[in-house]
Amino acid sequence: MILLNSSYVKLIIVYLLGALTVLGFAPFYLFPVPVVTLAALLGYCHNSLSPIKSAALGFCFGMGLFSAGVTWIYVSLHDFGAMPMPIAVVALIILCAYLSLFPALGLWLLTQLRLTSPFLWAALAAALWIVFEWLRGTLFTGFPWLLMGYSQAPFSPLAGFAPIIGVYGISMIVVFSAALLFFWIDKGVRQWQFGLPLILIWFGGYGLQAIHWVQPQGEPVTVSLLQGNIAQDMKWREDHLENTMQTYARLILESDSRLIVTPEISIPLFSNVVPKSYLSYLAEHARSNNGDVLIGLAERAAHDDNEYYNTMFSFGSAPEQSYRKHHLVPFGEFIPLKPIFGWVIDVLQIPLSDFSRGSLDQQPMNLAGQRVAINICYEDVFGEEIINQLPQATMLVNVSNDAWFGRSIGPQQHLQISQMRALETGRYMLRATNTGVTAIIDERGRVLQTIEIFTTAALHGLAQGFTGATPYVRMGNYPVLGLAGLLLCIGLLSAFHAARKNR
């Protein structure tokens, strides 16, 4: 009974450790916290001889992390999706449980291998963690939210590794650092074989921040990022349409920047029914600024009324261009396995909840003398897809509608993800959102300017274009995943050799 109680206490502790890990992410930015909480989790796992118990520890850590870190999903489902509270709570618990399976499986396999070398154990812990993070961010279109690497953007010394190995590589370093920290404390602080590599890694990241991977191109361009602050429950109401159109027309006409950006589907109409005079008037204003305006609209396919896209259109000095969103949100923008889950559309009551995908190989737009890579809302969570438009693009633009998150920590977490994309690519990231966080982020992931959330305003500033390619832009996630695969093979061979030796 004592052992049973002890096991329960451990599970409660690691659940709390998982919840505490959220402090490492925006809006808190306490980047050392995940290293400490993961060190404690890995310590419990290292002392456990049972793969099942390690899996339970990983699962409870995940439940703590996600139940505290993605509560905004409940806000989306219940407050704006009209889902009844009990169903929304159950849906959130199911999602958190699914996401928690990934750390559980990683720690199960780590313990199953029964490695005796501390350094190999630490390296394999890091490799398995990012393999399962990558799987979480890939399977069923992926949900790569709260990856450990994001907690280090942009203030941690480890952010210096972002242009080289991206967010998954930083996740790997975070977990490896946590394992080294555990062994350093467990074996004694005088055991410098664990402390010295830990210190060198973190100082190395700081040194990497001094490297300039990209070069400025030309003079900065004036930009205006518009935040219409249209309430989510009003956005699709026909009696509110005129107010929405007037709000964005006013914000555009008050902006004299060369590049003006409105949020995702800022005008809740199909492009073919928006009054031509309205768009012509705004395009003429953009031309008078010697620039362009980006406007978010729904776009119906010419050959099929049931096929429609989430699209950004450009109007102004450059020829009209468009970008169609490629990576859609399951159950929000498309319904997977529609014969099985089609009923979800009726429950959620989300307008236009079955978009079609744009192609993956869309090119940057020529706007205001820049080559602009567009990504819409959730798309900036997938760094490996963002780099498809690089190094041709000189800057990045993310348009979003985070009103679905309400006043939760979700919008701030999304901002931090954009900061990581800026670090990885060495490009400015311009964020225009409906309710916030609208921001100008420089190539080092620093927020240069922002405006208050839930206000109707325009953010006016300067954005510098850049050329060149970071190592991450050139190679993506392949080096990190390759290293993780190699370490996994070494771990498996070592475990196999040890098992044969003990027979």
Q: Which residues are catalytic?
A: 264, 325, 377
How many degrees, rounded to 5, is the angle at CA 436 between CA 364 and CA 334?
A: 60
Which residue(s) pair with 334 in the sheet?
330
The two structure tokens encoding residue 152: 């280090």
Asked whether 129 and 103 are in contact (CB, 8 A), the reply is yes
Report the distance separating Cα 166 and Cα 148, nearest Å. Answer: 12
* CB-based contacts of 118, cutoff 8 Å, min separation 6: 183, 187, 194
Report the distance separating Cα 405 and Cα 478, nearest Å. Answer: 33
CA 129 to chain centre: 17
Beta strands in 248-329 (DSSP E): 259-261, 292-300, 308-316, 321-324
Asked whether 165 and 208 are in contact (CB, 8 A), the reply is no
Q: What helix, strand, coil percent values describe the chain, rounded to 5?
A: 55, 15, 30
Residue carrying the six token digits 């206490």: 9
3-state secondary structure 207-218: HHCCCCCCEEEE
Residue carrying the six token digits 């420089």: 442
